[in-house]
Structure 1
């Protein structure tokens, strides 16, 4: 697992919080722009940063604050408006920018927002880089402010959506087409509300879009990858071949087959791994996933001579491990899929296109192709807390150790603090569902009691 340095602002996926409250306020965004600008303002070339966002109302507050910080630090700013997170990573590289910024809180409701940073290689910043930027933010930023003659400029890149659309289409095999397929795509009223339906339509599909009317307040509200019920119902109603549900910034995806059955990231990883292995495209002899992935996926891969390499939760850690071991497929149960030949970070739309390529090539319905393995019973409960983390309590530690000992080799327990919100995630997995439910209930009750006592 990755041992991350202690960070105050940055979590598992950038900085996140309630909009217009620290740290997700204009003042912090301004200082972040100044500090990150100073950190990346090296060398004699003209420095550039790409800034994208999703559709939250608070993006209109954070975008100009970040812009002011970067311009004051001597960096030119390229504004691209609402676009998926993977598009920002792609544009950062293709425009030879020093830094990419995505303003989004992913699957969270509109009240929240977040800021993710990408380096010039299109990769999310390392823990060490984020720590260095935090240190600059805590210090005197006067040194980051350049002379008036060296101020940056801000401009808008009008063809940014078209660049991402073409890159996404290029990930789909040229020999195949989506003609004859009806696809429902749920864009969560988020960053992909224009580009995702366009990509699918231009590849030949009959597209039924939902979640494509953002108003600043409705992102992820009853739609998207964390609320796929509406998608599943519409897939059945319209007799579609597949349903695609993206989250607010479109870096992750869940699918529904033609019966309305929801398919998570583990099954998507299994399908792509099987397909790529049969075509000698899978590298590294393994797939990288997180500690959350089902043991059923691990057994499925092992039966094919493949390892499942687990990391801490966060697609950034998945990507880091993939680069370390030379794998070209990795992801999370929640739907982040990383395929380096197509992009540097999770991309929900491109992952869906890889699944569609298998469905078209093999001529099988999604309900058959996407049922690669029977998952072991797994249950996840979130326990919200205020103040210190209850995981530091001795009684909680003892309870976790006791449940782990009781399960033995029959299953596993995973308890972790979320990196994006004040909740403890309590997960258990075993071959008997009743055992899983009882284990999670006992641990959640213990943690909940300690959280109230604190």
Structure 2
């Protein structure tokens, strides 16, 4: 059977995969999964085709006897918080997150506000590919879609409840916020105003064409944002992705700080404030070794997971033994608030940390271990990719290794990750070392080894 779901929902190009017909069938499948009489909260980001997909999918849900509540335009974590806080049976978010503008997608969310477990995606796919449709008696259909307009206010209040608003306001912080022309525009400026922060907004008008930049916040797309921080002498900068479940942090020197670096700092800070939580965090295997190097001496345990925010969230939810979870792409989960990636919570927590430490953001990041990264990839089919992973395992058999998602090698002054792509015929190679020369040697030797042994 074909696969619809990726690492976080279903995504495709509008007018190609994402059509009214597809969305209607998905509505039937999702409705059958939750069951007749279920109460679902739905919403979307600003992307083109969003209303088309939402309305078609809603028709399928209603046809399965589901009670639908529409929260309109809002960030993914706002919808998730609303589901958990208001006791909904689940929900659906129409978004393609950080993908380019021509994409849209569908995220299915459980009653705990977290995306459904990956194993449950097969149930929905089975309904979809079998073209499932209930045959209900006419009296069983719900009469209308209910409108829920208070979710954003509920969400912002929830974020604010986690921090010392008065302490942050007294610092008179100057902050640059890049909203990516999407639904972060509806929450980030409001949050910063309520925190008493002087906000300089970039790309905070809603525009489905994303004219300011690509929705993915990275070093290439944030060049102007980085320079603007130093221009206005801001204390910090934050850049959302398309559905605002991530916030990439930029320090007062205009440097982009990857999510694993931010995650290490915020986790350490959180253990000092929320002392009734275990001193443990979970992060994906693609995060840097600096996480362990920095946190373990402080008595904070690091649990490694396969790549994917849903995997991290479900692991925390199952084990109930951590204060945070994070990814290197800027996704941070503040467990005392909600076990999901949350851009607004990341912003508030970072400013809370700044207000407590009385140091510049750049100084805080400079305390972290310094590694030099290289990322590359090799075209490889499934068999070649598997061969490449085994070749690396054999070469580094005397080192500490993890094999939960490809193979990760831990050295004293380097780390190496080789893992097959989950969506493309590629073998991805990530390396970091404490010198540029060392990481270049390790990655080049790894590419050579895999090509000689596996790519013929």
Cα drift, residue 212 of structure 1: 1.4
Structure 1 match to 2:406: none
1:202 lines up with 2:194 in the alignment: yes
1:92-111 residue pairs with structure 2 within 5 A?
Answer: 92-111=83-102
How far did 1:416 drift?
2.4
Equivalent residue, structure 1, for 2:403: none
Could you tell me how far 1:73 is from its partner in structure 2? 0.8
User: Where in structure 2 are the equivalents of 1:148-227 lying within 5 Å?
Assistant: 148-152=138-142, 153-179=144-170, 180-218=172-210, 221-222=213-214, 225-226=217-218, 227=221
Distance 1:278 1:159 in 2: 33
CA apart distance, 1:134: 1.2
SS of the residue corresponding to residue 47 of structure 2 reads: coil
In 1, the alpha carbon distance for the partners of 2:39 and 2:423 equals: 28
1:363-408: CA deviations, max 9, x gaps? 21111123341232222225577xx5464464x4565446646987
SS in 1 for 2:6: coil
The corresponding residue for 1:312 is 306
Query: How far apart are residue 168 of structure 1 and its match?
Result: 2.3
User: What TM-score do you get using the length of structure 2 for normalisation?
Assistant: 0.88
Partner of 1:355: 350
Q: Is 1:82 aligned to residue 80 of structure 2?
A: no
CA contact (8 A) 1:103 1:115 kept: yes
Maintained 8 Å contact 2:385/2:426: no
Q: State the TM-score, normalized to the length of structure 1.
A: 0.88
Matched with 2:112 is 121
Work out the CA distance in 2 between the residues paired with 1:301 and 1:392. 32
Residues of 2 paired with 1:287 and 1:272: CA distance? 10
Count of aligned pairs: 440
CA distance in 1, matches of 2:452, 2:81: 46
Structure 2, unaligned stretches of length 5 or more? 400-408
User: Bigger shift: 322-331 or 212-221?
Assistant: 212-221
Contact 1:428 / 1:440 at 8 angstroms: preserved in 2? yes
Question: Who is 1:3 aligned against?
Answer: none
2: CA distance, partners of 1:84 / 1:425: 30
Please state if 1:61 is matched with 2:58: no
Structure 1 alignment gaps of length 5 or more: 1-5
For 1:416, what is the secondary structure of its paired residue?
strand
Following superposition of structure 1 onto structure 2, how do residues 199-278 of structure 1 map, counting pairs within 5 Å?
199-218=191-210, 221-222=213-214, 225-226=217-218, 227-278=221-272
Tell me, yes or no, if structure 1 residue 37 matches structure 2 residue 27: no
CA-CA distance at 1:207 after TM superposition: 0.7
Q: Contact conserved, 2:179 with 2:239, CA < 8 A, in 1? A: yes
1:430 — aligned with what?
Answer: 433
SS in 2 for 1:52: strand
Deviations 1:215-260 (A, max 9, x none): 2111772466222222111111111111011111111121111111
User: What is the Cα deviation at residue 145 of structure 1?
Assistant: 4.2
For the pair 1:12 / 2:7, whether they are aligned, the reply is yes
CA distance in 2, matches of 1:340, 1:238: 33
Q: How much is the aligned-residue C-alpha RMSD, in angstroms?
A: 2.8
